Amino acid sequence: MEYKYYSICEFRHGVYVSSRLLGKKIPIKIDDVEGYILMPKLHAYNTASIPSLINPYYKDADIDSWGSVTLSGWGRDMIVHPCIKAVMCVLLTDLHDNQSSYFNQQIENYISKFIKCIAGINPELIEWSSRNEESFVAPISLWANCGEDSEWIPTISIPFRSLRFQYNELEFPCIKDILRNIEAPISLQCELLINVKKCILDHKYREAILFSATIIEKTLRDEVVDYLVQNKTEKIITKYIISNIDGFQKIRKAIDDLGISSDKTRLNQIAKGSIYIRNRVIHGGYHPLKEEALKAYEDARYIIDYYKVNLFEKRSWTQILGQRSV
């Protein structure tokens, strides 16, 4: 028997994935126990029926929905856009029943972090619902032995092209990067980007503006720090510069003075738009509009993408400087 125990992990938010991921096994390790994430399978009763997402492994226990499929076109030109809402987690080690609660919690934490990482890379990959929940997955209650008679459910071959149309989709390279670094903390910018998206969905436009402005300023400030460190600027000078760039305009001036790469046109627009609105919110009690919050979100996304902000946290400038001698 290849598999020992499994649990079904149901998401609080759907995740748009590439159809190439459906039915695949993704290796994981939880608490030094190896296993797999089994992705839902694409299934149709025949080539004329509309496909759906189903349990990847044939077992009696199931949940109502493994996700949804949106279709464009038909026949050979059919384009499939899956949104998964559950996966099966399988561990490859014999475990006692009294370990089930512990490992269920570990699996919940692992998958929740995994989905949070996806949201941090691009919140548009998520079909948001139950927006106020802290965890990205529902509590796991099912814990069962796969048994010798377990079998794969056959997936009917459907002639379609796995292409993007209007949805963002999760691909293998992104998954590999997340799994390699899943124990690392998520960077502040990506954490805040998730909050911006949630705030807009919850009509909290003031918070969305403030979080977006923080993302922009921190990213630009980090670029100044990285430049100074990479150019081996004396520690005392680096600390002085950092302590004196405490606002958007000062950070932007430092970027210009140091010749750091920037999109000057976009920064001008951000200064007159999102940063100006942020200042009105803080100093004038202004209540921003949804359109202004959405624009701030776009600005924050743009800055993250332009400077290729890492999903996972790097060492802070104080840690870096602490290892250098003057």
Query: Is pLDDT larger for residue 234 or for residue 207?
Result: 207
Give the tokens for residue 147: 């048994």
Average pLDDT over residues 287-309: 96
130 — pLDDT class (breaks 50, 70, 90)? low
In the numeric block, the tokens 């803080």 are attached to: 282
At residue 115, the pLDDT reads 94
pLDDT in tens, 39-72: 998 877 666 667 788 887 755 545 668 998 887 7
Q: What is the pTM of this model?
A: 0.83
At residue 146, the pLDDT reads 58
Rounded to whole angstroms, how far apart are CA atoms 306 and 181? 22
170 — pLDDT class (breaks 50, 70, 90)? confident
Average pLDDT over residues 239-266: 89
301 — pLDDT class (breaks 50, 70, 90)? very high
The answer to whether residues 194 and 120 touch, using CB atoms and an 8 Å cutoff, is yes
Provide CB contacts within 8 A for 254, sequence distance 6+.
Answer: 224, 241, 245, 260
Average pLDDT over residues 316-324: 52
pLDDT in tens, 204-224: 999 999 999 999 999 999 999
Domain residue ranges in the chain = 5-181, 188-322
Average pLDDT over residues 288-299: 97
| 315, pLDDT greater than 70 | no
Give the tokens for residue 222: 């980090």
Average pLDDT over residues 230-240: 78
